């Protein structure tokens, strides 16, 4: 019995090993069960994503409030790239497909060949707007970036592709008037949907529309994962946590009964 089990594990490990090499053409390779280290192809002891800089400095309040119509790299652009491109097997630091690493500002600008104020000259913009599916990024069967995500990246380049940061909590975190459509869905789309959409979502969890997100809210896994509560795998997976204000806004929505507003 034990021998059969070991042989099975070996086969599984070999299978996973070879599938790593085809990762970019297909689904992002992530462990079905990251806790199972015997078959986990990803080294979870070292985090391939640069977590030394958290996306937003939540330690200070005031001073540098976020301005409307300004695209802030770490708040607005980086999460899109982290959840759609900086996967193991694709554009994280370890895999660097085609030399492209999309895990922090310098790498995005340099390896994504981003030219400030110049959409047509920026490779990063070209590949996300490519209509030929063979050339588009993320490649099929991953979904293309949404029109809103492409617009955010385009605006960022047209505003000079700078590394601007702002304090989301400037003047305190406003958790009143939180709505599903205007508050919760955009956060989930930027930070979560890259892994939780398509035909084989990570963890078998889809987070693309109201019913799916409300279901995760109701069973407690939405808050449990974004707060990293014991018993839940912290989300976004192997990336810095959401900033405190985003967590508070989502919590306010869940506490209000997760309405479809």
Q: Does 144 bind ligand HEC (CB under 6 A)?
A: no
**Pick from 229, 151, 132, 136: which is nearest to 190 by CA?**
151
Residues numbered 222 to 251 that lie near ligand HEC (CB under 6 A) are 222, 225-226, 232-233, 235-237, 242
Distance of CA 144 to the CA centre of its chain: 14
Q: Does 205 bind ligand HEC (CB under 6 A)?
A: yes
Among 55, 89, 112, 203, binds ligand HEC (CB under 6 A): 203
Distance of CA 101 to the CA centre of its chain: 14
Of residues 122 and 225, the one with the C-beta less far from ligand HEC? 225
For 62, the token pair is: 């005031």
Q: How far is the C-alpha of 225 from the C-alpha of 96, rounded, in Å?
A: 28
Of residues 112 and 201, the one with the C-beta less far from ligand HEC? 201
Q: How far is the C-alpha of 225 from the C-alpha of 187, rounded, in Å?
A: 14
Among 83, 142, 152, 189, binds ligand HEC (CB under 6 A): 83
Task: Give the interface segment with ligand HEC, choosing from 68-76, 95-103, 154-162, 198-206 (CB under 6 A).
Answer: 198-206
Answer positive or negative: Cα dihedral of 133, 134, 138, 139. Answer: positive
Q: Does 34 bind ligand HEC (CB under 6 A)?
A: yes
Question: Distances from the Cα of 204 to the Cαs of 40, 53, 218, in angstroms?
Answer: 17, 30, 17
Binding site for ligand HEC (CB under 6 A): 30, 33-34, 83, 191-192, 194-196, 202-203, 205, 207, 216, 221-222, 225-226, 232-233, 235-237, 242
């Amino acid at each position: 019995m034990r021998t059969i089990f070991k042989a099975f594990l070996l086969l599984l490990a070999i299978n996973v090993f070879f599938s790593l090499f085809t990762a970019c053409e297909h689904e992002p390779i992530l462990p079905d069960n990251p806790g199972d280290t015997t078959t986990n192809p990803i080294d979870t002891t070292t985090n391939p994503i640069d977590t030394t800089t958290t996306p937003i400095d939540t330690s200070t309040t005031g001073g540098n409030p976020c301005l409307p119509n300004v695209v802030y790299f770490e708040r607005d652009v980086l999460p899109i790239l982290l959840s759609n491109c900086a996967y193991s097997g694709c554009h994280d630091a370890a895999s660097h497909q085609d030399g492209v690493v999309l895990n922090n500002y310098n790498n995005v600008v340099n390896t994504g060949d981003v030219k400030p104020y110049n959409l047509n000259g920026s490779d990063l913009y070209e590949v996300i707007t490519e209509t030929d599916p063979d050339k588009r990024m993320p490649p099929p069967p991953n979904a293309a970036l949404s029109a809103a995500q492409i617009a955010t990246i385009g605006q960022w380049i047209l505003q000079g592709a700078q590394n601007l940061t702002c304090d989301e909590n400037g003047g305190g975190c406003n958790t009143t008037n939180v709505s599903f459509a205007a508050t919760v869905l955009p956060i989930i789309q930027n930070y979560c949907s890259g892994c939780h959409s398509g035909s084989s979502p990570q963890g078998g969890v889809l987070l693309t529309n109201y019913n799916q997100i409300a279901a995760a809210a109701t069973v407690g896994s939405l808050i449990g994962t974004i707060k990293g509560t014991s018993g839940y795998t912290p989300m976004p997976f192997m990336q810095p946590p959401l900033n405190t204000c985003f967590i508070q806004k989502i919590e306010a929505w869940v506490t209000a009964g997760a309405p479809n507003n």
